[in-house]
Amino acid sequence: MHINCLSDELAKGVQMVERAAATKDTVPAMKGILIEAGTEGIRLAANDLEIAIECGIVGSVLNPGRVVLEARYLAQIVRHLPEGNVDLALDSATNTVAISAGKAHFTVNCLPADEFPAIAALDLATALRVTKEDLRLGIEQTIFATGRDESRPFMTGVLMESTDNALNLVATDSNRLAFTQVAYVEAKTEGQGDLNVLIPTRAMGELVRILSVGEGEVYIAMAENQVGFVTEEAKLTSRLIQARFPNYQQVIPTEHSVSFQVDRRLFQSALERSALIAKKGPAIVVFRLESGQLNLSSREAEVGSSSEVLEVEHTGDDITIAYQVKFLLDCLKVLRTEKVEMRLRPGIGAATVVPVGADSYRYVLMPVRVPEVMG
């Protein structure tokens, strides 16, 4: 194999795929990045069997072939190459690749290319299509609600579920649940595949990174026990979590007796201030909602207390109730609307946060029992 390309083009490709390379003791080739050169151009790929990421780079193929180089060394080298052309050439006699750019020269040992795991092929003819921006935002607005409890695997990923009208994304850690819908580019047809898959949090996080590059569409398609996402710049394939996601529709409240609307940024800033005196453990804020005003108060016995009043649009009875500050901030930070509505139920009933003007999103969280509320 022998290729030539610009150093920044190679660096961009390596950066795109390197995070899919294995970091633990495993098959050596899984720690590497595959560089494949042929009639269709130059392709880079990494695959740790949890996720696989592929991308193409612009360059000249002087001699076709494929090599696998350890990801951490290749990534460090390409980040420090001088600007301009870089040449990569395989020496079959020594099983090494010479990397040359300007006056910089490296020789890197190859890993066994025949041990690099195959990446599942996707049938894009039946793929669903959404915009990159919409899917990225949808993931960002749900992924934070995933959990880490491996004994309850449904918490460790995001549910992706296709309906006739939209793609549903749902995540929960049992204390809260985030739900949103992503519109299709075109109406779903009978020929397009149905999705009801649970995708690991790590894969969704890497997908956000890929979707942040450029604009355009993303194709979503299934392979055997895997799901794939294809953009103009890259392809990500992920294993699926084999677990049953709970009936989330039963969790989302359909009724409420109290609600208020408030400026999202002002609400977020006030909550951040409420958390400042927390010494240890999660910061708790007490809501006292009455007569169009929301009083936010927090107390730490060894530190002191805080109190702040916000003007709100209030409907329903007066209410006193408490929540974890972090759970509220996680949601507010990823919303885009000017105002949010918080729908409350007295006692220990779940609350719902809804962006005003974007009713396809729901964030459900449970209140906290504190003496100020319990009396």
Q: What is the pLDDT of residue 193?
A: 74
Report which DSSP code applies to 18. Answer: G
Q: What is the pLDDT of residue 373?
A: 60
CATH, domain 253-374, list 3.10.150.10, 3.30.70.1070, 3.40.50.720, 3.40.50.150: 3.10.150.10
Dihedral of alpha carbons 322, 330, 349, 150, sign: negative
Report which DSSP code applies to 149. Answer: -
CA pair distance 99, 106, nearest whole angstrom: 5
> What CATH superfamily classification does 124-249 receive?
DNA Polymerase III, subunit A, domain 2 (3.10.150.10)
CA atoms in the 13 A half-sphere facing the CB of 41 = 9
Q: What residues have CB less than 8 Å from 183, skipping those under 6 apart?
A: 130, 134, 165, 166, 167
Q: What is the pLDDT of residue 236?
A: 99
Q: What is the pLDDT of residue 375?
A: 45
Parallel, antiparallel or unpaired: strands 226-230 and 217-223: antiparallel
Q: What residues have CB less than 8 Å from 284, skipping those under 6 apart?
A: 278, 298, 322, 323, 324, 325, 368, 370
Q: What is the pLDDT of residue 281?
A: 78
3-state DSSP call for residue 74?
A: helix
280, 334 in Cβ contact below 8 A?
A: no
**Model pTM score:** 0.94
Q: What is the pLDDT of residue 228?
A: 98
Closest CA to 342 of 304, 285, 301, 302: 285
Q: What is the pLDDT of residue 328?
A: 98
CA pair distance 61, 250, nearest whole angstrom: 56
Q: Say which CATH class 2-115 falls into.
A: alpha beta
Tokens 């996601």 correspond to: 245
Helix (H) or strand (E) holding 264: helix 264-274
Where are the CATH 3.10.150.10 domain residues in the chain?
2-115, 124-249, 253-374
Tokens of 159: 């549910």
Q: What residues have CB less than 8 Å from 266, skipping those under 6 apart?
A: 310
CA pair distance 317, 352, nearest whole angstrom: 17
Q: What is the pLDDT of residue 359?
A: 85
Tokens of 18: 């390197």
Tokens 């899917």 correspond to: 135
pLDDT beneath 50: ranges in the chain:
374-375
